[in-house]
Amino acid sequence: MKAYFQRLLAYAAWASRRVISAVRATPEAHAEAMPLLAHMLAAEHVWLARLEHREPTHAVWPTLSLEQCATLADENQAGYQAFLSQLDESRLTELIRYSNSRGDSFATSVADILTHVALHGPYHRGQLAKIIARCGGTAINTDFIMFEREHS
């Protein structure tokens, strides 16, 4: 199961890099795309901080530049790789206790958090692809199967 999450999060990092490149190539999309891109990456950061029992350094909806987003994407990838490399499979069922951005308390398993991180990004990448295409850029394909074909 650990290898499965490593693969999903490697896909997420690959897809984020593709979206960042597409946003960079479409300046007309920046005003609309940047808040969404920053949120997508900051949410990954926040979840990693929760998994590591530390306070995040970014809000869920931060204001970030494109270069800050690129840096955050790299940090997220390195952070999740490090977290997963040391994760014992038995911890996948461990409950992580945290408060959301409204202060509500929850307890969610490590496996469910990793699943959420893997599934949250594609939702926003689809929105970003639509914004990029509407602004005259080239819509990017970030489907998992494209990642699989490139990495098989």
pLDDT digits (tens, 9 = 90+) for 114-133: 999 999 999 999 999 999 99
pLDDT per residue over 58-117, tens digit each?
Answer: 999 999 999 999 999 999 999 999 999 999 999 999 999 999 989 999 999 999 999 999
What domain range is 20 assigned to? Answer: 2-151
State residue 135 phi and psi, 5-degree precision.
-90, 10
pLDDT band of 39, cuts 50, 70, 90: very high
Compute the Cα dihedral for 135, 137, 139, 140 and give only its sign.
negative
Does the annotation place 120 within a ligand binding site?
Answer: yes
CA distance 73 to 79: 10
* Count: domains in the chain: 1
> E strand or H helix at 99, and its extent?
strand 95-99
Could you tell me which of 127, 135, 152 has the C-alpha nearest to residue 19?
A: 127
39 is in an annotated binding site: yes
Dihedral of the alpha carbons of 36, 38, 43, 45, in degrees to the nearest 10:
160
Tell me what the pLDDT averaged over the chain comes to: 97
Q: Which pairs count as long-range contacts for 23-26, CB under 8 Å and 24+ apart, including other chains?
A: 23/66, 23/128, 23/132, 23/137, 24/66, 25/137, 25/138, 26/132, 26/135, 26/136, 26/137, 26/138
Q: Is 30 annotated as a binding residue?
A: no
pLDDT for 101 equals 85
The predicted model scores a pTM of 0.95
CATH (domain of 90): 1.20.120.450
Burial (CB count <10 Å: 0-12, 13-18, 19+), residue 140? buried
